[in-house]
Amino acid sequence: MGEGNKVISDNNFLKDILRKDFFENTDYKGVRIHTRFPPEPNGYLHIGHAKAICIDFSLAQEYNGICNLRMDDTNPGKEEKEYVSSIKEDVRWLGFSWEGGLCYASDYFDFMYDFAVSLIKRGFAYVCNMTQEEVKANRGDTKTPAKSFYRDRPAEESLDLFARMRSGEFPDGAMTVRAKIDLSSGNFNMRDPVIYRICHKSHHRTGDRWCIYPMYDYAHPIEDALEGITHSFCTLEFEDHRPLYNWVVDHMENLTIKPKQIEFARLNVTGMVMSKRKLKKLVDLKLVDGWDDPRMPTICGLRRRGFTPSSIRNFCEKIGVSKVASTVDYKFLEHCLRNDLNLHANRVMAIIDPVNLIITNYPDNKIEELLIENNPNNVSCGNRKVKFSKNLYMERSDFLKESKKGYHRLFPGGKVRLKGAYVVECIGYDLDEDEKVTTVYATYDPETKGGNTREGEKIKGTIHWVEKESAIDATVKIYENLFLADIIPDDFEEVLNPNSLKVVSGCKLEESLASAKIGENFQFMRQGYFCLDNKDSREGSLVFNRSVALKDSYKG
């Protein structure tokens, strides 16, 4: 990204903290701001992660710091290599790079083990044989301290058991390692939390080397500290875990700088589920066409839908960062996309529901090439040549057998401008046996080339068209929200929108779209913004996704 391209706007509390540390706090003298984005590779990234990515990467960038991409892979069984590569692809696509390096929590398993041993030796941790149920039953309440039956076990005994946990002697759940903190703490996370558990599962990187794995609250501060992270941004649900985070950091030795955890509110968007677990369920139940289904809030889904990286970064900047949870209207995300595409997408002509349009007074074998501008809002997009002949297609909805008040498109006796071509007058039409229009007949006025009008003549309507002989066939997919509710209940299947995907085949597109490329955005004039589907398109049978309709219903 270029200089001065600020993704996160100036007024937010995270920047206040960074500014203070960077410019005033002597602890940070000579230290570069260092952040990290730490996804768990157990699913694909979604628009909520995009907010975290923008915060982690762009704040570091702005203060001349560094940001690591870290796979937080301490949960074997759920994590897969496929997710790791998709995460890298998505972060890169959003426009960020990890000059801090690509890190894996699993690279620190040895350290984490050794550190747990050191905690036990120093009397700060112990092996506990209580079952999960026993721990739960003995957790106490705000007035009663928790009970832990093994906390006074001699360190020697704990060390021996911990080594045997590691060597695979015990089944899952048989024992845990717990930090010895405070059984009467008002913060239940501090009531001797579990820091290691037994889990006989293969890990995507370490294979079967380990059968014990560190818990998130123990692992995360260690990961941050080892990587030299100065500011560890995370979402609000970790606020109550911060004392534990600090406890772990405080018990580490020889740290030049202690990382600090700072929480912000997570992003919610109306009509979208934003948890990998739920998104995975949608995929597993085949309610969508994979993680990259264009209706999904995943980064790869949004990409396939036609969202641009800058529209997403822009969205993340505009929604801001705060400590107060809120839900952003999906229409605002669409609004950000529209603003971007309005400037950058070429206008083209595409007929979604074609009927024939025959220009009866146009020479039979003549083909003209008309020069049409690509984007009236951005001259730098240039012009293109579009073929015109006697035989065209027009949109079914641009014709009425009888006119009505306020109607400015084609009807018998009515005139309309064909975009960039001529003014035509309708002189008749054909119907099939179902009374459906098959062909519209019109005459053209050669004096109106380029869409000009004769002096004194007023033509209110302009419609798009496509030349028949050169037209290409395509299928178009029109999407609506996946859900019919703004806030999605846990049983999300109940609010699934049965009409969220409409597939329209037999569309006729102007010739230039034959060379459309993946990742290119177009405005199908008067219809919406579209892009080539990166999965279902084949040469000779193109599929276009509607990214967003033209009409902006966002009321900002």
Residues that bind Mg ion (CB under 5 A): 40
DSSP alpha helices (H): ranges in 1-108?
A: 13-23, 47-62, 81-93
SS3 17: helix
Rounded CA separation 429/427 (Å): 7
Q: Which does 39 bind (CB under 5 to 8 A by kind): Mg ion, ligand ATP, none?
A: ligand ATP
**Residues 52-91: x/- map of binding to ligand ATP (CB under 6 A)?**
x---------------------------------------
The answer to whether 317 and 7 are in contact (CB under 8 A) is: yes
Q: Which does 275 bind (CB under 5 to 8 A by kind): Mg ion, ligand ATP, none?
A: ligand ATP
Residue 406's φ and ψ, nearest 5 degrees, are: 80, 5
Q: Which does 274 bind (CB under 5 to 8 A by kind): Mg ion, ligand ATP, none?
A: ligand ATP
The tokens describing 402, both together, are 């009888």
Q: Largest Cα–Cα distance of the chain, in whole Å?
A: 101
Q: For the chain, how big is the Rg over CA atoms in Å?
A: 31
Rounded CA separation 551/19 (Å): 41
Nearer to ligand ATP, 135 or 316 (CB): 316
Instruction: Give least dist CB 43 to ligand ATP, A.
Output: 6
Residue 521's φ and ψ, nearest 5 degrees, are: -110, 145
The answer to the question of residue 49 lying near ligand ATP (CB under 6 A) is: yes
Instruction: Give least dist CB 427 to ligand ATP, A.
Output: 58
Measured torsion, CA atoms of residues 155, 156, 157, 161, in degrees rounded to the nearest 10: 100
**Residues 240-279: x/- map of binding to ligand ATP (CB under 6 A)?**
--------------------------xx------xxx---
Residues designated as active site: 40, 266, 276
The answer to whether 347 and 525 are in contact (CB under 8 A) is: yes
The answer to the question of residue 1 lying near ligand ATP (CB under 6 A) is: no
Q: Which does 449 bind (CB under 5 to 8 A by kind): Mg ion, ligand ATP, none?
A: none
The residues with which 384 forms a beta bridge, in sequence order, are 372
Residue nearest ligand ATP, CB atom distance: 48
- With tokens 């020697």, the residue in question is 156
The answer to the question of residue 467 lying near ligand ATP (CB under 6 A) is: no
Measured torsion, CA atoms of residues 155, 161, 166, 172, in degrees rounded to the nearest 10: -130
Q: Which does 294 bind (CB under 5 to 8 A by kind): ligand ATP, Mg ion, none?
A: none
List the beta strands (DSSP E) in 88-241.
Answer: 102-104, 125-128, 176-179, 194-198, 212-214, 231-235
Residue 194's φ and ψ, nearest 5 degrees, are: -70, 135
The tokens describing 163, both together, are 């080594």
Nearer to ligand ATP, 39 or 354 (CB): 39
How many residues sit close enough to ligand ATP to count as binding (CB under 6 A)?
A: 14
The answer to the question of residue 359 lying near ligand ATP (CB under 6 A) is: no
Nearer to ligand ATP, 272 or 466 (CB): 272
Nearer to Mg ion, 40 or 73 (CB): 40
Residues 205-234 that bind ligand ATP (CB under 6 A): 234
Classify 451 in phi/psi space as left (phi over 0), alpha (psi -120 to 50) or beta.
left
Residues 27-46 that bind ligand ATP (CB under 6 A): 38-40
The H-or-E segment that residue 282 falls in is helix 276-284
The answer to the question of residue 327 lying near ligand ATP (CB under 6 A) is: no
The answer to whether 128 and 138 are in contact (CB under 8 A) is: no
The answer to the question of residue 48 lying near ligand ATP (CB under 6 A) is: yes
Pairing relationship of beta strands 368-373 and 383-388 according to DSSP bridges: antiparallel
Q: Which does 410 bind (CB under 5 to 8 A by kind): ligand ATP, Mg ion, none?
A: none
Instruction: Give least dist CB 273 to ligand ATP, A.
Output: 9
Instruction: Give least dist CB 99 to ligand ATP, A.
Output: 19
Q: Which does 235 bind (CB under 5 to 8 A by kind): Mg ion, ligand ATP, none?
A: ligand ATP
Stretch of residues binding ligand ATP (CB under 6 A), selected from 47-55, 62-70, 114-122, 449-457:
47-55
Q: Which residues bind ligand ATP (CB under 6 A)?
A: 38-40, 48-49, 51-52, 234-235, 266-267, 274-276
